Structure formats: structure tokens, C-alpha cells
Amino acid sequence: MKTVYKVLLSSLVLLSFSSIAAKDLHNKLIIQAIPSSEGTVVIEGQPKYEKTFNVVVYSVIDQPIELTGDVGCYKAFNEKGKEFDGRLVHAELLGILKDSPKAGEATFVSDDESVYNAKFVKWSSQC
């Protein structure tokens, strides 16, 4: 019984640490985003507006950082804080971020052309 209790307690501590780390992960990253294209796409018959950025992600800490859908996602946003969901993210921008930066493209979509005003890309735990 003590072993089960220890395993459960360890799991809860690890789980709470992981969610804390995921929430403040954006404070450990520098994300450079350069707009590369604007366009449209039709997804399941629904027209969408899209904007693509060339993205470079740097770590500001010495430990490896996990950039996966389990801990967050990339989001574009404009100067007023309106956020746009990602549609496509190059695999190079995901995985373990260590000593060298990761680079690739990320595309974001919206139901209206407001996505064209997006200027920034961030890592968010709110996906």
C-alpha cells in the first residue's frame, strides 16, 4: 500500500510540475516571426484567410524545452492581442529545443481577413 501511495504522490507532483512548466514556457523562449505570405484556403467547404510566417525559436535557458502539442502550440496575434490558431507548423519547429534554434514555417487561419494584421507569434498553453 505504501508503494502505491508513493507512486501516486510522485505522479501528482510530476503532473503539477509539468503543467506549471507548460504555463510559463513562453517566458523561456524568444520567437522571431517574419511574415512570408498571405492567402486563402478552403477547409471542408469553408473559406478561410491565412498568413504564413518564417519562425525561428530560441531558448533562453540551459535545459532542453519540449515543444509539442502536449504542452502547447504556436499562435499568431496582432497588436491588440487578438489571437489566431495555427493550421500548419513545420515539424522542425516542434520537438526538443536545446542548444541551437529551431526554424520553419507556421501558418495561421481566421474566418475573416483580420489574420492579415497578425504581426507576432508566441507559444501558448491555451490551445
Q: Are 50 and 109 in contact (CB under 8 A)?
A: yes
| Residue 3, helix vs strand vs coil | helix
Per domain, the residue ranges of the chain are 2-124
- Cβ neighbours around 9 below 10 Å, total: 10
Q: What is the pLDDT of residue 69?
A: 81
Averages of pLDDT over each 10 residues, the chain, 127 residues: 43 37 73 97 96 96 89 94 96 93 97 97 92
Separation CA 4–CA 22 (nearest Å):
27
Prediction pTM value: 0.78
What is residue 23's predicted lDDT score, i.e. its pLDDT?
54
Listed residue (69, 74, 19) closest to 51, CA to CA: 74
Residue with cell 519547429: 93
Write down the CATH number for the domain with range 2-124: 2.60.40.4110
